[in-house]
Structure 1
């Protein structure tokens, strides 16, 4: 029953077809709310766990997002026609550095989560994140 309610809430939150900037922010907020609802349900978080979990989770995810954003920005700026071998080496090393930082932060997030969740819940979290992305992509495909 709870899963059905969560799915209904999820579908309700993500059903937006407007592309104006203000509506895109609202769309992002709806996705965030749907993610919270979905993950909370999938992990069977108590209200006390949720209160401790979300700040830790959001901090870690935001930091990993920053690493990815910097790496992606760097990669987009590369002009493959004009980049020299020396410059390419520097860029590869810099990209590797971003990826290493991302991986270390991901490991740290898992460690931080152990203060709030059981290891079984952390495994469920990884699965729930993948399932949420799949459901979101399915929903987006249906609206196009």
Structure 2
């Protein structure tokens, strides 16, 4: 009997691992599609020549990676911070850390703007900032649309189920 319980647990663990692997692959694929769309939008907005693109993208990718690292560092600190239980000193430390991260972000922007200006002109740099903002807005709009569609689908299913229940009661 114990062997069956063990096999059942092993099967469940394998299934959970398979589901997690599939979900991760889907997340990676979605992340890659988003990144490709962002690259296409930025390239189009900046009007990069192939030569410019060859110099621009390594700088931009490095900049993006460092920005993400800063963001994740602050996000991790915020997740570990509970304002309800924090002391005054811990709260002050968190505020200071937030300012440090913002300052670090600003210094990063200055450094990489200077590096990018060696490859693209100032109008293109301004277009880059606008393209990033527009892309973020388009991405958020698409997420809102999906949420709305899911909400509408859920409401429609709920109405259909309620209708079926009424029909069963009436029959």
Bin of the TM-score, shorter chain as denominator length: 0.7 to 0.9
Gaps of 5+ in 1: 1-18
What is the root-mean-square deviation in Å for CA atoms of aligned residues? 1.4
Matching of residue 76 in structure 1 with residue 79 in structure 2? yes
Rg larger in structure:
2
Aligned with 1:124 (options 120, 124, 127): 127
- Deviations along 1:73-106, one digit per CA (max 9) or x if unpaired, are 1112112122111222222222211111111101
TM-score by length of 2: 0.69
Count of matched residue positions in the alignment of Structure 1 and Structure 2? 126
Q: Which runs of 4+ in 1 moved over 6 A?
A: none
What TM-score does the superposition give when structure 1 sets the normalisation length? 0.81
Alignment of 1:8-27 (within 5 A): 20-27=23-30
Greater mean alpha carbon deviation, residues 132-141 or residues 105-114: 132-141
**CA shift in 2, pair 1:137/1:87, >3 Å:** closer
Partner Cα distance (1:45, 1:137) in 2: 26
CA drift of 1:45 comes to 0.5
